[in-house]
Copies of this chain bind each other. A is one copy, B any other.
Amino acid sequence: MGSQLVNTLEREDPCRLQALREFYSGKRVVITGGMGFIGSNLAIALVELGAHVLIIDSMIPEYGGNTFNIEPIRARVKVNISDVRDRTSLNYLLQGQDLLFNLAGTLSHVDSMRDPFTDLEINCVSQLAILESCRLYNPHIKIVFAGTRGQYGRTSGKPVAEDTPMQPVDVNGINNVAGEAYHLLYNDVYGIRACSLRMTNTFGPRHQMRHPRQGVLNWFIRQLIDGEKIRLYGTGTQIRDINYVADVVEALLLAMSDERTNGEAFNLGGEALSLRQFVELAIEVNGGGEYELVPFPPEAKIIEPGDYVADYSKFHKLTGWKPRVSVREGIRRTLEYYRTYKHWYWGEHPAGVPPTPFENLPFGA
């Protein structure tokens, strides 16, 4: 239940682990969206590295927050339930902090088309509010922003480098372009150190499992565990570039701890597989399962971004980062996690909301 990344580094790269401990030990770190998928995995690693972690999360039911996600560290983090759209709270909470992992944001392509204003408020207005708050009250903070491949929109299928023109195919992508750009601008103009990691499809433990709108890879895992036939749209040959969550956590930690990332955006990336290849691999690792091809629903087709292969050489050259966990191994770990903790994510508890009493959270601890 501890940090997979820290365990892996202990075995494979103790020098890197040592460097990360030296950097993070005693640091005051905020994670917006810290109850969510990537945020909670990051929080667990940070606590094990000796950081003082403050999680900010809105716990909006449809999004990724789940109090069970931070079960391994619940006595060792502060949690503040608030929305990044709440400017006054942010102005208070960001004061005196050293580092900000700015992961709060909506991810759903479909939701952004159904309710574009909410997407705009969270991904543009709130990002600007966070930066203004830092400018006014904490200009010495460093920020790592969670960008997304959705910023690029449709690409040719060839590896995409960071200087590729961005032509998003949904409102979420457009807003993330702006959200990232504010960060890099505030770095350049006001010296508020910030960088962006443009993440690709990430899967692994602690992803919400109640609906597929924030990522299909984990949804396939749920369908396998439930013994359901997996449904792939179209021919299933759409290429996705896939990362396991522990590798993304390492990338976030490296980006934050390296001054040379300031003002820059970097792609992450891992194994480029078709969704069908991912599903076939998952069925193999699972030792069973089925899938079927179904026609694209029209609303999914029109914002389907097509094949995507990341060129992550810019980040690799700077930091040495590359994925450590194969998709196969990631699937094995993900199946194991959700087999064990399934009832905290879906099934027994309506809408998957865990019954953890709110009072038990270490508020102000």
Q: Does A168 contact B (CB under 8 A)?
A: yes
Task: List chain B residues, Cβ under 8 A from A175.
Answer: 178
A interface, CB within 8 angstroms of B: 113, 116-117, 120, 124-125, 128-129, 132, 163-171, 174-175, 177-178, 181-182, 185, 188-189, 302-303
Residue of B nearest to A165 (CB): B165
Residue of B nearest to A135 (CB): B116
**Contact (Cβ within 8 A) A132 B116:** yes
**Contact (Cβ within 8 A) A185 B174:** yes
- Using A117-B125, A125-B120, A128-B117 as known contacts, say yes or no to A166 and B165 having CB atoms under 8 A apart: yes
Sample of 15 further A-B pairs with CB below 8 A, known A168-B181, A174-B185: A117-B125, A117-B129, A117-B132, A120-B125, A120-B128, A124-B178, A165-B165, A166-B166, A168-B185, A169-B189, A171-B182, A174-B181, A175-B178, A177-B177, A178-B178
Task: List chain B residues, Cβ under 8 A from A125.
Answer: 117, 120, 125
Residue of B nearest to A176 (CB): B178
Contact of A174 among B113, B164, B178 (CB under 8 A): B178
Rounded to whole angstroms, the CA-CA distance of A282 and B213 in the bound complex is: 58
Task: List chain B residues, Cβ under 8 A from A164.
Answer: 165
Instruction: State how many copies of this chain the complex holds.
Output: 2
**Contact (Cβ within 8 A) B163 A165:** yes
Which of A129, A163, A178 counts the most B-chain CB atoms under 10 A from its CB?
Answer: A178
Task: List chain B residues, Cβ under 8 A from A163.
Answer: 165
Task: List chain B residues, Cβ under 8 A from A171.
Answer: 128, 182, 185
A-B residue pairs in contact (CB < 8 Å), sample of 19: A117-B132, A120-B128, A124-B124, A124-B178, A125-B125, A128-B171, A163-B165, A164-B165, A165-B165, A167-B181, A169-B185, A170-B185, A171-B182, A174-B178, A174-B182, A174-B185, A177-B181, A178-B178, A188-B302
Rounded to whole angstroms, the CA-CA distance of A111 and B223 in the bound complex is: 52
**Contact (Cβ within 8 A) A124 B132:** no
Minimum CB–CB distance for A317 against chain B, Å: 20
Task: List chain B residues, Cβ under 8 A from A181.
Answer: 167-168, 174, 177
**Contact (Cβ within 8 A) B177 A113:** no
Task: List chain B residues, Cβ under 8 A from A116.
Answer: 128, 132, 182
Rounded to whole angstroms, the CA-CA distance of A170 and B184 in the bound complex is: 10
Which of A168, A181, A188 counts the most B-chain CB atoms under 10 A from its CB?
Answer: A181
- Can you list the 8 inter-chain pairs with the closest CB atoms, starting with the nearest? A174-B181, A178-B178, A165-B165, A174-B178, A189-B302, A116-B128, A163-B165, A124-B124
Task: List chain B residues, Cβ under 8 A from A302.
Answer: 188-189
Rounded to whole angstroms, the CA-CA distance of A177 and B185 in the bound complex is: 14
Contact of A169 among B167, B168, B188 (CB under 8 A): B188
Rounded to whole angstroms, the CA-CA distance of A189 and B170 in the bound complex is: 8
